[in-house]
Amino acid sequence: MKNDQQTINQMNHKINWFQKFLMVCSGGNIHILRKTPSEWNKFSGIGGIVLFTAVFATLSAGYAMYTVFDNIWTSAGFGILWGLMIFNLDRYIVSSIKKTGTWWNQILMAIPRLILATFLGIIISKPLELKIFEKEVNKQLNTIIQRNKKQLQGEMTGRILQQSGPFETEKKQISEKTLQYQKSYDSAAVELEKEILGKQSGLTSGKEGFGPNAKRKQELKEQRRQDLENYQKQVAPRLEYLDKEISKVYTNLETERKSTETFEDKFNGFAARLQALDELGKNSAIIGLAATFIMGLFICLEISPVLVKLISHVGPYDYLLEKTENDFRLYSKEKIEKGNALTDYRIEDFKENFKK
């Protein structure tokens, strides 16, 4: 027994602080690992993967939050918080896989963890993809902004036509009626000139000079001039009102357009960058393939601790862990049985005393 304790003490000195830290990252039980030196490298490797995954998750979340808040301290805080959450989740995923039991049970146990790890890998990879392709994404963002502005301009033109349409229609009707009065006046002036010059037509006498017919045509010309002027005076306030309403429509929509364009110029948030990256992948096969490989790399990084734990052979650590858990189960069962027996004894003793 003394020799065994000395052996354990010697093994304790072999674990340096960094190796111990990686074992903690792996989710392994340090007390059991101290007794199984053959498992140290495996758990250190798993812990290293979990640690680096958390580091990448921190960088990824920090960059994503920076595109949202545009503040380095806020982004750093959110990034560290997200990294710690991923770190803790990965530790739980790895530590919850038990190597004891049948291979089929281990597979069933690993499937939901692999799905979760894959999902986490995709989430971590996207912001880092945006950073890697930042220049291309910025260029595509500018293309999207210009496209949105062009679409906005088309929508504004349609709204101008819709809102100013009734006013423009009324102005056109007034112009057409004014033109009719003008034509009537011009026609009367031409007929008067022909009558004075003695030009023969269906409406003139053919006699030169200012005779009775010329006098009547002079009166008709004057009447039509007055009709034209009276109509112009009559519709002048209405035309002024229509011009003001049309100008108001243009002013309001121009103000809205400038405001919207200012908003479009700031179209560079996280969702906008994801849209730009998606369009880049569709427009460029090389970028699409590169983005797929990067995402696959992080998925492999995220699921690798689960796979390592799954494909590795059952080792001393697994046997000791099973023994420790089984000892606790037996101890708990024993305490429950003793408690039940003691309770039954008290009940029987109470019944006998009650009968007496």
Q: What is the pLDDT of residues 204-237, one digit of tens each?
A: 555 666 666 767 777 888 888 888 888 888 888 8
d(CA 273, CA 146): 15
Q: Among candidates 100, 32, 96, which has minimal Cα distance to 40?
A: 32
Are 87 and 69 contacting, i.e. CB atoms less than 8 angstroms apart?
A: no
Is pTM, for the whole model, over 0.85?
Answer: no
d(CA 248, CA 164): 9
Residue 165 has pLDDT above 60, yes or no: yes
Q: Among candidates 149, 178, 108, which has minimal Cα distance to 257?
A: 149
Contacts of 114 (CB under 8 A, 6+ apart): 303, 306, 307
Contacts of 231 (CB under 8 A, 6+ apart): 177, 178, 181
d(CA 171, CA 158): 19
Strand extents, DSSP E, 111-249: none
What's the gap between Cα 238 and its chain centre? 50
Three-state DSSP state, 71 = coil
Structure-token pair, residue 43: 């758990």
How far is residue 277 from each of residues 67, 135, 139, measured CA to CA in Å? 14, 11, 10
Q: What angle do CA 130, 257, 241 make, to 5 degrees?
A: 175
d(CA 155, CA 147): 12
* pLDDT score at 3: 47
Q: What is the pLDDT of residues 4-53, one digit of tens each?
A: 554 445 444 577 888 889 999 988 888 888 888 888 888 898 888 889 88
Q: What is the pLDDT of residues 73-94, one digit of tens each?
A: 988 999 899 889 889 988 888 8
Q: What is the largest CA-CA distance in the chain?
A: 158
Contacts of 134 (CB under 8 A, 6+ apart): none
Q: What is the DSSP string of 264-299?
A: HHT--SHHHHHHHHHHHHHH-HHHHHHHHHHHHHHH
Q: What is the pLDDT of residues 237-292, one digit of tens each?
A: 888 888 888 888 878 777 777 777 666 666 677 778 888 888 888 888 888 888 88
Domain ranges of the chain: 149-270
